[in-house]
């Protein structure tokens, strides 16, 4: 009888110990599951980066988009892309249309051989980063990082500078009575567009032209209408 009692006690103790172990394991698992899931989420977030639609991802290495030879590391399109944490990443570049307000520019349009009518030209340039690959296989989104000290952040200043210079140089060559869409396109738009493409930029047109000086109000109205509708076709981009 004593042996049976002892066996029963041992069995009961083992059962209680088993329950304690099971409860401990269950408790530990409840703590481990969130940790495992959280760690997995952090690893996934560090390993994959999403590039949004209408964007291009420029691959970077230790934060730089160009190697020591000044060459790009490559680019990717929209979607999830793999990266090496703390080594490689992607810089997302917006390819959508942007608008840059230009400073007011006084333009002397000749009204005759000896006189001019000054108008204050105020407009916004409509542009975007060119979504294409150049002859070297590099995406045009890399151009700002090659040609501009501030990289992509410096593009609005580049756009403003080039367009303003074109207006100052070429617009005054147009006689007031010859101002129309074609003459403005040839005088201002084409030179600006060609130079901006070297920076990876497509100039799409201008918006909201405002002119002052009552002496040439009629000419100002004509120019405003021409510039507001000045948007090239896709074939010209």
**Residue 36: band (very low, low, confident or very high) from pLDDT cuts 50, 70, 90:** low
132-155 per-position pLDDT tens digit: 999 999 999 999 999 998 999 999
Give the mean pLDDT of 110-125: 79
Domain extents in the chain: 2-94, 98-236
Architecture per CATH, 98-236: 2-Layer Sandwich (3.30)
For the residues of the chain, what is the DSSP string, one character each?
A: -HHHHHHHHHHHHHHHHHHHHHHHHHHHHHHHHHHHHHHHHHHHHHHEEEEPTTEEEEEEETTBSB-TTS-B--EE-SEEEE--TTTEEEEEEE-S-EEEEPPPEEEEEESSSS-EEEEEEEEEEEEEE--SB-TTS-BGGGHHHHH-TTGGGGHHHHHHHHHHHHHHHHGGGS-GGG-SHHHHIIIIIHHHHHHHHTTTEEEEEEEEEE---GGGHHHHHHHHHHHHT----GGG-
157-215 per-position pLDDT tens digit: 999 999 999 988 988 888 877 766 677 777 888 899 999 999 999 999 887 554 555 44
Higher-pLDDT residue of 94, 110: 94
Q: Which pTM was predicted?
A: 0.72
38-92 per-position pLDDT tens digit: 565 555 566 778 999 999 999 999 999 999 988 999 999 999 988 888 899 999 9
**Residue 23: band (very low, low, confident or very high) from pLDDT cuts 50, 70, 90:** low
């Amino acid at each position: 009888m004593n042996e049976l009692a002892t066996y029963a006690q041992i069995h009961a103790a083992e059962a209680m110990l088993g329950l304690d172990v099971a409860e401990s394991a269950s408790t530990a698992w409840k703590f481990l599951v969130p940790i495992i899931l959280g760690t997995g989420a952090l690893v996934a977030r560090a390993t994959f980066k999403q590039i949004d639609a209408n964007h291009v991802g420029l691959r970077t290495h230790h934060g730089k988009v160009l190697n020591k030879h000044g060459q790009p590391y490559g680019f990717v399109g929209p979607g999830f892309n793999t990266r090496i944490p703390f080594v490689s990443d992607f810089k997302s570049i917006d390819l959508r249309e942007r608008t840059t307000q230009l400073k007011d520019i006084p333009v002397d349009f000749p009204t005759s051989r000896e006189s001019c009518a000054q108008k204050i030209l105020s407009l916004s340039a409509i542009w975007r980063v060119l979504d294409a690959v150049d002859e070297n296989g590099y995406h045009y989104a890399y151009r700002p990082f090659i040609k501009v000290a501030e990289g992509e952040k410096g593009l609005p200043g580049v756009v403003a500078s080039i367009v303003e210079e074109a207006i100052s140089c070429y617009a005054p060559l147009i006689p007031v009575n010859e101002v129309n869409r074609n003459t403005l396109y040839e005088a201002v738009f084409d030179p600006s567009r060609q130079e901006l493409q070297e920076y990876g930029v497509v100039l799409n047109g201008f918006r909201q032209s405002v002119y002052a000086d009552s002496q040439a109000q009629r000419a100002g109205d004509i120019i405003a209408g021409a510039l507001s509708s000045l948007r090239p076709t896709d074939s010209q981009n």
